[in-house]
Structure 1
Amino acid sequence: MFNRYRTLGLIVILLVFCYFLYQFVSPTLKIDHLVREMNQSSVVSKSMKHVVLIAQELDNPFWRAVEKGANEAAMQRGIAIDYMGPIRINPTEQTKLLEKSIAAKPDAILVQGMKGQPYTQLINKAIDQGIPVITIDADEPDSKRIAYVGTDNREAGKRMGELVIQDTAERGRIGVIIGSEWADNQQLRLEGFRSMISNTPGYEIVAVRSSNISRIQAAKQTEALLKQYPRIQTMVGLSSLDAAGIVEGLKAADRADVRVFGFDDLEVTKEGITDGLITASVVQQPREIGAQAVELVDAVFKGDAIPVQHFIATSTLDRDDMKSKGNSP
């Protein structure tokens, strides 16, 4: 009997080990598969320009919208888009993707900027090999990238600050959830937000936490923040999944007295605004970002000069906007 239980225990341990091994290697296997597909497509359509679009996270709704806009613009210009990204946000895998994409020698690369010398060096390597690189969503200004296309993230952070100050009378203690500590766009949004809050009497950012671009983590971080700082009156999320996660964290903490502000207009965010769970959101235009990035790449292919910074405007969304669009129940 003892030997039987020991055997079963060993089998369970082996299965758990295999599961975690698969989780560890599967992103790399996916990267290799995507790069092979890119190489094969390049052989089939030599007449087309091939542009690699590297997302921060493969199936993130924001990045899928960027992909859609890029593909729409590419179809009009005879350009093929090879879209890829880590299965889950992972700076190491994102760096590997960039490295392998350069080795595949595409005609251009669109990629999110990311802090770190190895990443900057890879962008420089691509430029030195004659591969144009445009950063999107987050810039890498210390690299040789030829342009940035995306939100003016510092100004977007300021706009968030204006929303909070206008709509949170006597709710000056603020908790902030950012998407990633690695992404320059998140730091710039936080910087812009801080500049507004620090110059307004009665308002204070009591803590900042990272969700790692995860709705579940945003919920967990919110619940932990409220336990540590129970006097928080306002929660702000600076990436697209944060607001929905914050709402879930508030429910878990049994707090209905905290106002929530978010980023972007995912369906779950719009539902939260309609239901009064989210006060307002700063909205980017990811589809337009993808389209404009491809337009600039096409201009580079034609030898035209392009602006170093190409900002795409943001807007705001609140319950009145939802009512005017007929989205109110």
Structure 2
Amino acid sequence: MSNRKWNLGLLLLFAVFACLLLQFVFSTLRIRELVRPLESSPPDGDRPRHIVLIPQELDNPYWRSIEQGAREAAREYGMELDYTGPFRINPTEQSRLLEKAIAAKSDAILLQGIGDPQYRGLIDKAAGRGIPVIAVDMDEPESRRLAYVGTDNTEAGKRMGELVAQASGGSGTIGVLIGSEAPNQRLRLEGFRSVIGRYPKLKIAEVRSSNISRLQAAEQAAAMLSAQPQTGYLVGFSALDGPGMLEAAGRVRPQGLRIFAFDDLPETKEGIRQCKLAATIVQQPRQMGFDAVALLHDYFQGKTPQPQHYTATSVLDRSALGIGGSCP
């Protein structure tokens, strides 16, 4: 009887041991299933850098060109790019998106400066958390941004002044449109004034803002032409000013007016072809986007970029478009 009890005890002990062993095996297999995805993913140091690009206006053709260049560079350097911005110009929304990018611990941020103290504070906050920020198209020089990539706006304004001085022979009356009171627009105007000021017979009659709107550009240009009938030259410093000035000229003074624009929208180039627009100064937005990401790549490799990285501008006129002959 004692032997039978002993055998039953051993059998019960073996059953308990077998159950514990099976539970251990199943637990081990489950842990391996959970760990396998982590083992297959690259370590944190090898993951692609995540960059956020915050434009002034999401579907603006100019900013889409910047996005295109940034994406090309991101692919080349193995980075990931998110493009997110306000549908219409909205500095408050730009600030909110910057805060969101900081909270998400992005590896880097590309953005347009807006000349606002609170915005500069957010850029400084990002820098304090080790997130490099590059200003594109418009600088935020008093912030801790890593670098600025874009046009040398003062020099672009001077180049415009030289175009107008040459076309006018140093004598005449000029009406000027700026897109806004943004720093890049003011710098262009300052550069322009510095050249025009060298010609005593060349006068800037009026400066108005188009508020980055074709409709307002047309309205303000028409108002200038009506108020200053002696105006022989119109100059615009933002992309939509050219088409707006062309529309105003068609309504108010179709003949005898020389128009100078900024950037190369299709309507601006068509105005040059039709001799309705003398010339435009063209920026390189795609190059801005590419160079900004390239600078970030160098920075992550331990190289410190220069504070300003200027992209080239060029003059687009009939000869640059390959059109022979002069305008009547």
Q: Residue in 2 aligned with 1:64?
A: 64
Q: Does 1:304 align with 2:292?
A: no
Provide the TM-score with structure 1 as the length reference: 0.82
Contact 2:273 2:323 (8 Å CA) reproduced: no
- Residue-by-residue CA offset, 1:176-227 (whole Å, 9 max, x unaligned): 111121x211111111001111121211111111112111111111112222
Q: What letter corresponds to residue 107 of structure 1 in structure 2?
A: D
> In 1, distance between residues paired with 2:132 and 2:234?
40
Q: What letter corresponds to residue 199 of structure 2 in structure 1?
A: T
Contact 1:171 1:233 (8 Å CA) reproduced: no
Equivalences for 1:36-75 in 2 at 5 Å?
47-75=47-75
Shift of 1:48: 1.7
Q: Residue in 1 aligned with 2:160?
A: 160
Q: Residue in 2 aligned with 1:175?
A: 175
> In 2, distance between residues paired with 1:52 and 1:180?
25
> In 1, distance between residues paired with 2:119 and 2:308?
20
Q: What letter corresponds to residue 269 of structure 1 in structure 2?
A: T
> In 1, distance between residues paired with 2:105 and 2:171?
53
- Residue-by-residue CA offset, 1:62-104 (whole Å, 9 max, x unaligned): 1111110110111111111111222122222222222222222
Q: What letter corresponds to residue 187 of structure 1 in structure 2?
A: R
Q: Any idea what SS the aligned residue of 1:177 has?
A: strand
> In 2, distance between residues paired with 1:51 and 1:272?
38
Q: Any idea what SS the aligned residue of 2:309 has?
A: strand
> In 1, distance between residues paired with 2:307 and 2:157?
21
Q: Any idea what SS the aligned residue of 1:261 has?
A: strand
Q: Any idea what SS the aligned residue of 1:239 has?
A: coil
Contact 2:171 2:199 (8 Å CA) reproduced: no
Contact 2:288 2:311 (8 Å CA) reproduced: yes
> In 1, distance between residues paired with 2:163 and 2:122?
38
> In 2, distance between residues paired with 1:56 and 1:99?
15
> In 1, distance between residues paired with 2:136 and 2:108?
13
Q: Residue in 2 aligned with 1:288?
A: 287
Identity of matched residues, %: 54
Q: Residue in 2 aligned with 1:78?
A: 78
Structure 1 residue ranges without an equivalent (≥5):
1-42
Contact 2:150 2:310 (8 Å CA) reproduced: yes
Contact 1:137 1:151 (8 Å CA) reproduced: yes
Q: Residue in 1 aligned with 2:144?
A: 144
Max radius of gyration: which structure?
2
Q: Any idea what SS the aligned residue of 1:66 has?
A: helix
Q: Any idea what SS the aligned residue of 2:200 has?
A: coil
> In 2, distance between residues paired with 1:298 and 1:307?
14
Provide the TM-score with structure 2 as the length reference: 0.82
Contact 1:57 1:86 (8 Å CA) reproduced: yes
Contact 2:107 2:132 (8 Å CA) reproduced: yes
> In 2, distance between residues paired with 1:257 and 1:103?
56
Q: Any idea what SS the aligned residue of 2:319 has?
A: helix
Contact 1:237 1:263 (8 Å CA) reproduced: yes
> In 2, distance between residues paired with 1:275 and 1:205?
26
Q: What letter corresponds to residue 135 of structure 1 in structure 2?
A: A
Q: Residue in 1 aligned with 2:250?
A: 251
Q: Residue in 2 aligned with 1:196?
A: 195
Q: Residue in 1 aligned with 2:5?
A: none
- Residue-by-residue CA offset, 1:265-320 (whole Å, 9 max, x unaligned): 12111111111111001111111111000000111122212111111111101111
Q: What letter corresponds to residue 92 of structure 1 in structure 2?
A: T
Shift of 1:170: 6.8
Q: How many residues align?
A: 283
Shift of 1:324: 5.3
Shift of 1:171: 5.6
> In 1, distance between residues paired with 2:178 and 2:128?
34
Q: Residue in 2 aligned with 1:264?
A: 263
Contact 1:74 1:294 (8 Å CA) reproduced: yes
- Residue-by-residue CA offset, 1:85-124 (whole Å, 9 max, x unaligned): 2212222222222222222221101111111211111111
> In 2, distance between residues paired with 1:179 and 1:127?
30
Q: Any idea what SS the aligned residue of 1:176 has?
A: strand
> In 2, distance between residues paired with 1:176 and 1:312?
24
Between stretches 243-252 and 165-174, larger displacement belongs to 165-174
Structure 2 residue ranges without an equivalent (≥5):
1-40
Q: Residue in 1 aligned with 2:3?
A: none
